[in-house]
Amino acid sequence: MNIAIFQMDIVFGNPEKNYEKLSEWMKNINADETDTIVLPELWTTGYDLTRLDEIGDKDGKQTTAFLQKIAKSYQVNVIGGSFAKQTDEGVFNTMIVVDRNGDLVHEYSKLHLFKLMNEHHFLQPGKDEPGFLLEGTEFAGFICYDIRFPEWIRKPVLSGAKVIVVSAEWPSPRIDHWLTLLKARAIENQSYVIACNRVGSDPDNEFGGRSIVIDPWGKEIAIASYQEEILYAEIDLEVSKEVRSRIPVFEDRRPDFY
């Protein structure tokens, strides 16, 4: 599977500008050699949290329709980062996945809200399961702070997930944590990790980029800079099976003790 990670700078609080930006980026990919694109967290608004009631997407309809059109036009799967979804229960930080036919195949709202950036004051925690099936392969999708909770990442892996996808707005001061945690999640779960982080800044934060693809051995396949770019990588979905057969971590687990 050929992956394109869109390491974008996000226009603060302006969904229409970000839709336009993504449309322009899509013109630069080679659709014949790209199966799946991955977007960053809150890519439509950035962390303009105090205005989410105003600029969030009501029931996710606009963003979903936009990504469905992208997927069908370019015949690519879209792991749509996340966006602010307005609902009657509040605003959720929601990832959607659309297949190359334009069908919505998965939705996941961020479970772990990051209090250091005041998410808990403006967002509701999700209750969704992270696992999904894409082109016959079991994936699991997570958002930013989720990766600090290895027990949450392990849950869909125990159900068969072989690819972990992460969308984030991870700040520059902790970018070393980002890389270390992602590598650990790949090694301990014997799974690919495909992680998309944003770059640029907003009024309160600077974001670190360094989007990355890691194989089930923990080896970096591709890693981005600190600037805007499209990061390309090819993953071999059979590698996870090979690693799990050589080091049978899942067979050797002792869940009766933990």
Catalytic residues: 41, 110, 144
Q: What are phi and psi of 205, to 5 degrees?
A: -140, 155
8 Å CB contact between 87 and 59: yes
DSSP assignment letter at 172: G
Instruction: Give the CA distances from residue 230 to residues 59, 186, 224, 227, in Å, rounded to whole numbers and listed in that order.
Output: 29, 22, 8, 10
Residues 6+ away with beta carbon under 8 Å from 10: 18, 40, 42, 43, 44, 45, 46, 169, 198, 200, 202
**Which uninterrupted H or E stretch holds 66?**
helix 61-74
- Distance, in Å, from the CA atom of 37 to the CA atom of 231, rounded to the nearest integer, reads 10
Closest CA to 198 of 149, 164, 232, 231: 231
Q: What are phi and psi of 78, to 5 degrees?
A: -125, 115
